Amino acid sequence: MPILLCGEEFFLVDHYEKRLTELFAATPLDISVFYGDESDDEEIIRALDTFPMFSPVRVVIVKNHHGLSPQGKEAGLTDYLVNMPDSTRLVFSASKVNKTRRLFKAIAKHGMVYDFSHLDEADLGAFARKRFKSFGADISPVVLEAFLQATGYLEKDASVDLFAVENDAYKISSFALSENRTSLTLSDVEECLPGVLRTDVFAMLDAISSGRKAEAINLLENSLAGGESVFRLLSLFTGHFEIMLGFKELSAEGHSISKITQILGERSDWRVKKLGGFAIRFTAEKLQEILYKLYETERNIKSGDIRDRDAITILLAGI
């Protein structure tokens, strides 16, 4: 039976490839592995026709087969999948697949396809809790929420993957365990993750929306002194105010938090709810004005009309 593991979350593709291999094969002697364009279909078929020696079945793993890729050549083993021997398990793994290819359709028809997409907030939380537990650390719901936001995984169009999230979890766990602690704190998250800047930006937004401009500028100067990029700050501010404006308009139409999150294409209800709390302190017109200033500030910096630090400081002071 052919099995295809694919999707943007290659951590899960890799994880379940290993799990299936362990499930089916008792010894490495009954495992054959082929890689991408280097794989020859005739060699794969010969491996599939070979009886297992010490396991119930032989496992043949094919990584990024050319017959599944968008530009790859057609696969010679497509027709072979119809009459695969029961003594063999064929596992394909790939990050990107073309679902119109004959090989993909054959796998879907005669086997199983598992597509691992980006996790939502609930699944990411479950994933992180398991990682922390495996590292010997305890994490409370409050600290877990801060951790998830600090990773940046839940942000729209984020490039962060589960490998990075696992690495962040390991980093924080190791930091706490080195101090003979198993319970993680918010301070551990702040100490270990550069992504905690998002919390600083939320603090700045809280200060700005409450009229505490001096506090907001002080937070800004601390972030810049810590080496933060002006353009990254501008990007975060712009993204946050776009969500705030969207929240303002959509909530006025009576939409729920989850519906607003869906319409805006965001991945986290928490983030939308958090920014929505700031949005209610502004009128829709004021939010539009701020967004215009953000766009204008970025243009002025790029054109060289003003120094980047001066520009973002003036921007915050004028909101």
Domain span including residue 174: 121-192
Token couple for 37: 């364009």
Residue 260 and residue 232 share a domain: yes
Q: In what order do the strands lie in the sheet with 58-63?
A: 31-35, 58-63, 88-94, 2-6, 112-115
> Which of 86, 115, 144 is the last residue in one of the domains?
115
The DSSP output letter for 28 is: G
With b for 16 or more beta-carbon neighbours within 10 A and e for fewer, the 136-161 pattern comes to ebebeeebbbbbbbbbbbbbeeeeeb
> Does position 39 have pLDDT exceeding 70, yes or no?
no
Residue 297 and residue 310 share a domain: yes
| Confidence (pTM) | 0.66
Q: What CATH number is given to the structural domain containing 27? A: 3.40.50.300
> Which of 115, 149, 167 is the last residue in one of the domains?
115
SS3 of 156, please?
coil
Q: What is the pLDDT of residue 219?
A: 87
> Does position 134 have pLDDT exceeding 60, yes or no?
yes
Rg (CA), the chain: 25
pLDDT band for position 55 (50/70/90)? Answer: confident
Residue 23 and residue 110 share a domain: yes
CB 165 within 8 A of CB 128: yes
Q: What CATH number is given to the structural domain containing 133? A: 1.10.8
Residue 245 and residue 296 share a domain: yes
**Residue 60, phi-psi category: left (phi > 0), alpha (psi -120 to 50), beta (remainder):** beta
CB 88 within 8 A of CB 60: yes
Residue 18 and residue 81 share a domain: yes
- Domain count across the chain: 3
Portion of the chain with pLDDT greater than 90, in percent? 43
